[in-house]
Structure formats: structure tokens, C-alpha cells
Structure 1
Amino acid sequence: MTDLEAAVQALAGVPRLLVALDFDGVLAPIVPVPSEARPLPESAAAMEELAALPGTTVALLSGRGRADLAAVSGFGSPVRLIGSHGSEFDADGSSLLDDEQRERLDRLAAELRQLVDGEPGVTLEAKPAGVAVHVRNAPPDVGTRVLDAVRAGPATWHGIEATPGKAVLDLSVARMDKGAALELLREGEAADAVLFAGDDVTDETVFARLRPGDVGVKVGPGDTAAQHRVDAPPDITALLQQLVEARRRRSES
């Protein structure tokens, strides 16, 4: 039995378990067109099975806007959907911003549209509390030039929070990160332990907050504070299936 398998077996026995995962690169393979991302079917089935077990809360914690996350993941209640790096805990984000933040967001969106106009392969993703600049499909020199301009320009504005990711820079007018969001989830669900899996640099804010008895899993390469690592989304499928079986046995015993 590997260290990760042993850790999952231990997690299965806690009274209240929180399973929180990033979406892209974890439940769903990374694809060139973000709107076409879908969870691996076996992972989706395991998530739904976990969510139906007693004392088990399942959540997606993503940089995507919550509505976008719901559309691409296909999940609804009882799976909790936390979007915009934790800024969206409600369904539509309508109460997320005050008037000053809304004005700042309008200015930010206008500036970014002008900045990326005509740049091949660069796309903007509007979110309730910000805008993400995606360069995954841009030529490398274009992506570097655009992100450098964003970092030197709108990312420096007062009240703007910049969060770098894989081929994306997320700009927000509301301060939140995934680590803080996980703590809110843990407290709200009174979880005894947490399983979190992520692949991006933004997920390190979660790994850094995990406690003894929690399990953190990094998907793919890169420096990480997670205790465990797997190669790709199919490995997360296997992990979730293992957890389903172990937790079901514990609940039935």
C-alpha cells in the first residue's frame, strides 16, 4: 500500500469529511477551449457517490466563475460549487461587490479589452468579481507580451488583486484565495479532515493551510507544499473510487 493509499484509508474513517477539488487539470483534463472542459465520467460518478454518503461534503473550488463552473462540470446540489478563487459562495454573485468595486470592475474590463484587442489567441473571461486573461492558445511571444503588459498596468491598480495561474492571469476587485475559501468551508461543514487535490499555483494557498490528518494531492509537475503527487486526472479518478469504497465500508460497518 502506498503512502497516499494509506492516507485515503485513514480519511475514510473520520466522522465528517470534506472533499474539495480544483476542476481543470484535476477532475477534467486541460483543453484548448475552456468552455469545452468536462469532468472524466468516472470521476464525476465518484464525486456524486461521495456526496451521497453520510457525513461527507463534496465541493469544487475553482478559479472559474461559479456559473461557468456549474455549466462545464454538470454538478449541482449536493456538490458545492465555489467559484472565482473562493469569492463566489452564492449562486449568482449579485451581493459580492459594493458600488466602488463595481465601478472598478467596469474600468478594469474596459482597459483589458483595449489592451488585448487584436492579440491572436488571447481571450478574456468575465467573472462576477473580475476578469481573467487567458494566453494558453496564444503564440509564446504574444502571451508573454500581453501578460507583462497586464502586470505592469491594470494589475498594479489600487484595489486589484492579481492571481497568476497556468497561462492565465486572474484580476479581481474582491480579495479572496482558495486557501481562505477552504477554511470557510471547513468551518461551515465542521469537517474533521479534508482531502484537497489541485494542479495550479493558485492551489498552493490551500496546500499551505492543510492540517495534520488532512490529505493534499498535487496533480502534475511543479513545486508544491502538498504531501502527495499524482500524474494526471485519471489518477484522481482512482483515488476518488478508492475513497468511495473505503468510506462506504466504514459507514456500513
Structure 2
Amino acid sequence: MTRSLDTALETALAELARVPTLLVALDFDGVLAPIVQDPSTSRPLPGSAAAVGALADLPGTTVAMLSGRALDDLRTVSGFVAPVRLVGSHGGEFDDGALELTDAQRALKDELSAAVRHAVDGEPGVRLESKPAGIVVHVRGAEPLVAERVLDAVRTGPAQLPGVEATAGKAVLEMAVVQVSKGAAIDTLRGRLGADAVLFVGDDVTDETAFARLKPGDVGVKVGDGDTAAGFRVGAPEDVTALLQALLAARR
């Protein structure tokens, strides 16, 4: 069954579709792909994947996945290839050049990783993910008390190391030795492309930095509940499929 969109959102998408150069930036998990227990099994909804591919083939239109996942992981689970752009690690890795760390940053990353592993120390249901610029603690598979204990220990310990940037998400805490954000990534992509307008769709608290960077004429869409700076909201990834299909029809 085709989902219907709010009339105001449909109007905003129709206006967005008229700009000469358009950037469509999308989070992956919870936006194109439903949230799943095992992140390695995550895949985009077929309708959304088809709409992304079709949009990316249109003149003056760039589609970018903007995810907290590491770039290689994002490439694997999304299945997208050029001309779709991939940006991983919250803007820390672009598909046209991975993040380069200084010697000091590499040393800090090693210290951070060791401290996080010591703090977690085999807690059941907790998963650690190494990234080029840091390490991530995932507690989605842990019991609530374990998750709270682990996150508190990491927040008050390793995350406080000088030079470490901590970003909290849904059942996740990411720590990096460089300053990155999805908002900064939006600015970078906009500048590189000379985009006249941006559509950004996200679902997590880490996406709020991107919503906050949007300008008049841009469109921000929050997926799901929670406070947001986005101008519009939809309920679920299935609604994002309808959104992308509407934008595609208007852009064509």
C-alpha cells in the first residue's frame, strides 16, 4: 500500500524539485533501512533503493548516503555505487578520500580504544566497532541495566580523554579523535556541488546537526518520534519511500 504524505511536505518537495542543482542527503539506518537487531543484516527498502538510484541518474541531482557507519560497512549494507555518494563515520569519511589522522591522533585513538575495551570488559550484549577515527560502543543487544552501566562508564571515563569527541545516538556512543558532524558534512557537500537546495532525511539525535545547518529553501525531514529541528516529520522508513518517489516524480 502506498503511503500518503502531508500536503505541506508534498508542496515543499515540489518546490525543491525545481531547483537547478539539488543535493539529496539521507541517513541510512532508520531512514532507508528499518532498524534491525543485527546491523550487518540491514538493507534498504526496495522502493527506496529504486528511487535513490533513479534520482541519482537525473541531471543536476546528487544523492548522498550520510551515515554514522564506517564507509566500508555503509558500502556493504547499502549496496549503492556511483553515482550515489557515500559519506561514513558522521562525515569523517568521504568516498573520494578517507580521513587522514596525524601521529598524535593515531596515538590518541590507540589510547582511547584500549580504555574503552577495559571499561566494557566483556559486558554481555555490548558490541564494539572500530572506525578509522575512533571506536563505537553499541548496547542495543544488552539488557537495560547493562547498557546503562556500560554507557555511564564510558561517558565518564574514556570519552573524557582530552581531544576525544563523543557523540551519543540511539543505544550507541561514538568516540572520535577528530571533530566531525553530519552538519559539517552537509556544508562540505553543498559547497563542493554548488547545490541550490538540500533535502536531508534523518532519524537519530546525531542527525540534528544536519537539520540545524539547513537554510531557507532546504527541506529537513525527521523520521519517527523525538525533538527535532527538522521542518517536517514522517513516521517510518516506509514513508521515506513515498517521499523519495514523490520527489522523483516532481523532479522528472
Coarse TM-score class (shorter-chain normalised) = over 0.9
Whole-Å Cα distance in 1 between the matches of residues 151 and 100 of structure 2? 26
Whole-Å Cα distance in 2 between the matches of residues 163 and 191 of structure 1? 27
Of 42, 46, 50, the residue aligned with 2:51 is 46
Asked if residue 78 in structure 1 is aligned to residue 93 in structure 2, the reply is no
Identity of aligned residues (%): 66
Of 29, 36, 42, the residue aligned with 1:37 is 42
Q: How does 1:40-189 map to 2 (within 5 A)?
A: 40-90=45-95, 93=98, 95-189=99-193
What does residue 251 of structure 1 align with? none
Asked if residue 5 in structure 1 is aligned to residue 13 in structure 2, the reply is no
Whole-Å Cα distance in 2 between the matches of residues 140 and 151 of structure 1? 16
Does structure 2 retain, via aligned residues, the 8 Å contact 1:20–1:194?
yes
What does residue 3 of structure 2 align with? none
Encode CA deviations 1:162-205: one digit per residue, 9 max, x unaligned: 00000000000111100011000001000000000000001000
Encode CA deviations 1:217-244: one digit per residue, 9 max, x unaligned: 0000000010000000000000001111
- Structure 2, unmatched stretches of 5+, are 1-5
Structure 1 residue 79: Cα displacement: 0.6
What is the aligned-residue RMSD (CA, Å)? 1.0
Spell out structure 1 runs of 4+ moving beyond 6 A: none
Whole-Å Cα distance in 1 between the matches of residues 97 and 158 of structure 2? 25
- TM-score normalised according to structure 1 size: 0.96
Q: How many residues align?
A: 247
Structure 1 residue 114: Cα displacement: 1.9
1:14/1:91 CA distance change after superposition, 3 Å: closer
- Structure 1, unmatched stretches of 5+, are 249-253
